[in-house]
Amino acid sequence: MKINDIPVIETDVLVIGGGTAGPMAAVTAKEQDPGLNVMLLEKANVKRSGAISMGMDGLNNAVVPGHATPEQYVKEITIANDGIVHQPALMAYATRSFPMIEKLDSWGVHFQKDETGDYDMKKVHHLGTYVLPMPEGHNVKKILYRRLRRNRVQIENRYTATRLLKDPDGKIAGMIGVNTRTAEPIIIRAKAVIMATGAAGRLGLPTSGYLFGTYENPANNGDGHAMAYHAGADLANLECFQVNPLLKDYNGPACAYVTGPLGGFTANAFGERFIECDYWSGQMMLEFFKELESGTGPVFLKLDHLAEETIQEIETVLHTNERPTRGRFHEGRDVNYRQRMVEMHISEVGFCSGHSASGVWTDETGATTVPGLYCAGDMASVAHNYMLGAFVYGQICGESAVEFVKSRSEPELDEDFIIRELERIQAPMKRADGIPPEQMEYKVRRLVNDYLQPPKVTKKMEIGLERILAVREDVPQLCARDPHELLRAMEVQSIIDCAEMAARASLYRTESRWGLYHYRVDFPDQDDGEWFYHSRLFKDEDGQMASGKRPIADYLVSLGEEKDAYRKMRVQKAANE
């Protein structure tokens, strides 16, 4: 079959995004049924793509028998996320967490073990013990790549997806996209699609002003969020922004999960501890933000009290793993962990369920509200999912997709839709002059910072929304000189979608929740009577962006007397001080 002379590629299961969750989903689908055609499409190259391109220095949320139970984990994350979670999805993660660690271990991913051979678990969370260091975690991507080859997953690098396709029944039918080096379009018909396109990390503008100096890998710009929205899928709790504590300007993690267990901590300008727990939560970020803005600010990572060998251990991990240029950054400024504290700051805002809870709505089977469309990793709505959650939900989605395609006949394609999308893809390169994508992106992301960054104020957000919609009016003027700029031109359209979603979702929830993530100055209190719901964001029947409420599923684990533990983040001063 051909549409506009473009051959349609056929596959059973299509995975979009080759970072962490995507390869696991693709490998799982092939393990389940080696006879299926499984295609993995990646905007960059699966060898080094995604959030963990240089590996990872630890598991932040590992549920290991003897150290924690799935029930304890579900309870802790529910409390850390102010009650707004889908506990069945957290429980599915928690029960599969340990088998996944063992699977990765058998594949050659090294986790830290103690002298008895047991996993060397560390306590960083407020209540339980869930952090497992992996000082040799720099090779994760190589190990995943080997598995993809061994299981004969068909890999297509340097293609970016631009829209999902649906059949007349509303089931998923495939996708359309474009090659990032040749600008050649690609049309794929698929019986099931798994999206794992990562966070929406290019939403806010880093304080450095450098567009690509984001906390997230900037290839993760929210394409998946935008595509899911346009395909009619529900998104959830988008107002629960991601805001992280980072090394100022470098904008990478400091990283409390590595340094905390070794004695490092987050301190104010006087070297004093002000938060009881360095686990990333909205409540912790609110205390961080208050200290930053106070007379005892700014905030620092304090390591200068530690022994030489401890500092060497920290340097080895931080300067070889995850974000290895950290060492080079400190060197350039003559900053040495031994001599002085390192200045920290807060990141730009984004959508990322890895650290917060916003994303495309997914249940405990990885299913979205579009039949046949599954989501995993930082773009899916399962709270505090981190890297291990991406692996577990990649696996769950792989299994669910294989089950779905069993009874699925060849989907029918909507040719008119495809032709219109081809026109949208080709438009920027047909224009000789206009607005380059870089300028449009800078403008919309600067507006996100000015008007949507918490503390959130209603009138400011309304102005922000108006200004973002005005940028959308400029999209017909977008121009691209080459295929690379075309990639950026397609990305900026997703960024505009995400910015509008961020504004509307934030305006919808008229309360404050999740500490700094959704701190509304004019609605300062948490209102469980009105807002003990997931917020929904979706495209309504008229094609308009709409909001609504989704009830919280019955809890599997009750919270008991620890329910307010994350409200007591600030270190209490002694009365005689």
Partner 1 sequence: MPIANHHSSVPVIVDEDKCIADKGCTVCIDVCPLDVLWINEETGKAHMKYDECWYCMPCEADCPTDAVTVNIPYLLR
Of 484, 521, 524, 527, the one binding partner 1 (CB under 8 A) is 484
Query: Does 324 engage in binding with partner 1 (CB under 8 A)?
Result: yes
From candidates 4, 45, 182, 510, binder to partner 1 by CB under 8 A: 45
Alpha carbons within 13 A on the beta-carbon side of 259 = 26
Cβ 128 vs Cβ 68: under 8 Å = yes
- Under the binding rule (CB under 8 A), the answer on residue 387 touching partner 1 is no
Distance CA 566, CA 505 (A): 24
DSSP string, 102-117: HHHHHHT----B-TTS
**What's the distance, Cα to Cα, between the start and end of the chain in Å?**
78
Give 211 or 269: the residue with its C-beta nearer to partner 1.
211
In this structure, how many other beta carbons lie within 10 angstroms of the beta carbon of residue 37?
18
> Which of 147, 183, 559 is CA-nearest to residue 394?
147
Query: Per-residue x/- marks for partner 1, 279-318, CB under 8 A?
Result: ----------------------------------------
Please list the alpha-helical segments (H only) found in 233-307.
256-259, 282-293
Kindly report the backbone phi and psi dihedral angles of residue 41, in degrees, each rounded to the nearest multiple of 5, phi listed first. Answer: -105, 130
Using the rule CB under 8 A, give the single segment among 87-95, 321-329, 341-349, 547-555 that binds partner 1.
321-329
Does the protein bind partner 1 through residue 218 (CB under 8 A)?
yes
Stretch that binds partner 1, among 186-194, 394-402, 482-490, 537-545 (CB under 8 A): 482-490
**Alpha carbons 437 and 477: distance in angstroms, whole number:** 10
Contacts of 105 (CB under 8 A, 6+ apart): 111
Contact stretch for partner 1 (CB under 8 A) within 28-36, 48-56, 129-137, 148-156: 48-56
Assign 172 to helix, strand or coil.
strand
Beta strands in 456-577 (DSSP E): 533-539, 545-551
Residue 261 CB neighbours (<10 A): 17
Tell me how far, at minimum, the Cβ of 181 lies from partner 1, in Å: 7
**CA gyration radius for the chain?**
23
x/- site string to partner 1, residues 162 to 201, per CB under 8 A?
------------------xx--------------------
x/- map, 243-272, partner 1, by CB under 8 A: ------xxx---------------------
Residue 212 near partner 1 by CB under 8 A? yes
Task: Answer yes or no whether residue 137 interacts with partner 1 by CB under 8 A.
Answer: no
- Rule CB under 8 A: say whether 221 interacts with partner 1: no
H helical segments located in 108-181 = 140-150
Sign of CA dihedral 247, 253, 256, 259: negative
Query: CB of 145: closest distance to partner 1 in angstroms?
Result: 11
Which amino acid does the sequence have at 100?
Answer: M
In the list 146, 149, 273, 328, the residue contacting partner 1 (rule: CB under 8 A) is: 328
Stretch that binds partner 1, among 91-99, 352-360, 484-492, 561-569 (CB under 8 A): 484-492
Residue 477 interacting with partner 1 (CB under 8 A): yes
Per rule CB under 8 A, is residue 333 in the interface with partner 1? yes
Q: x/- binding map, residues 226-245, to partner 1, per CB under 8 A? A: --------------------
User: For residues 44 and 405, which CB has a smaller minimum distance to partner 1 in the complex?
Assistant: 44
- Burial tier of 217 (Cβ tally within 10 Å: 0-12, 13-18, 19+): buried
Q: Does residue 490 touch partner 1 according to CB under 8 A? A: no
Residue 470 vs residues 155, 461, 487: alpha-carbon distances, Å: 39, 14, 22
Angle of CA points 284, 290, 294, to nearest 5°: 145
Separation of alpha carbons 188 and 178, rounded Å: 11
Stretch of 66-74, 444-452, 481-489, 500-508 contacting partner 1, by CB under 8 A: 481-489
Closer residue to partner 1 (CB): 134 or 370: 134
Nearer to partner 1, 22 or 260 (CB): 22
Under the binding rule (CB under 8 A), the answer on residue 434 touching partner 1 is: yes
Pairing relationship of beta strands 6-16 and 185-195 according to DSSP bridges: parallel
Q: How far is the CB of 383 from partner 1 (least distance, A)?
A: 26
Decide whether 211 or 553 has the Cβ nearer to partner 1: 211
**Residue 487 binding partner 1, by CB under 8 A:** yes
Residue 119 found at the interface with partner 1 (CB under 8 A): no
Q: By C-beta, is 44 or 92 nearer to partner 1?
A: 44
Region near partner 1 per CB under 8 A, out of 91-99, 407-415, 427-435, 457-465: 427-435
If one asks whether residue 332 binds partner 1 (CB under 8 A), the answer comes out as: yes
329 binds partner 1 (CB under 8 A): yes
Structure tokens belonging to residue 435: 């607005």
Nearer to partner 1, 433 or 561 (CB): 433
Query: What span, in angstroms and rounded, lies between the C-alpha atoms of 411 and 153?
Result: 21
Of the candidate residues 312, 325, 426, 510, the single one contacting partner 1 (CB under 8 A): 325
Question: 218 vs 371, which CB is nearer to partner 1?
Answer: 218
Number of residues that bind partner 1 (CB under 8 A): 41
Least distance in angstroms from the C-beta of 474 to partner 1: 11
Beta strands in 291-418 (DSSP E): 299-302, 342-346, 359-360, 373-375
How many CB atoms neighbour CB 536 within 10 A? Answer: 19
Contact region with partner 1 (CB under 8 A), list: 22-30, 45-53, 360-368, 409-417: 45-53
Q: Among candidates 399, 413, 372, 410, which has minimal Cα distance to 11?
A: 410
| Interatomic CA distance for residues 71 and 272, integer angstroms | 34
Cβ count within 10 A of residue 259: 26
Query: Which window, 211-219, 361-369, 417-425, 501-509, contacts partner 1 (CB under 8 A)?
Result: 211-219
Does residue 53 bind partner 1 (CB under 8 A)? yes
Report if residue 446 touches partner 1, rule: CB under 8 A: no
How many residues does the structure list for the chain?
Answer: 577
Contact assessment for residue 141 and residue 48, using Cβ atoms and an 8 Å cutoff:
yes
Contacts to partner 1 by CB under 8 A: 44-45, 47-50, 53-54, 157-158, 180-181, 208-214, 217-219, 249-251, 323-325, 328-329, 332-333, 433-436, 477, 479, 484, 487-488
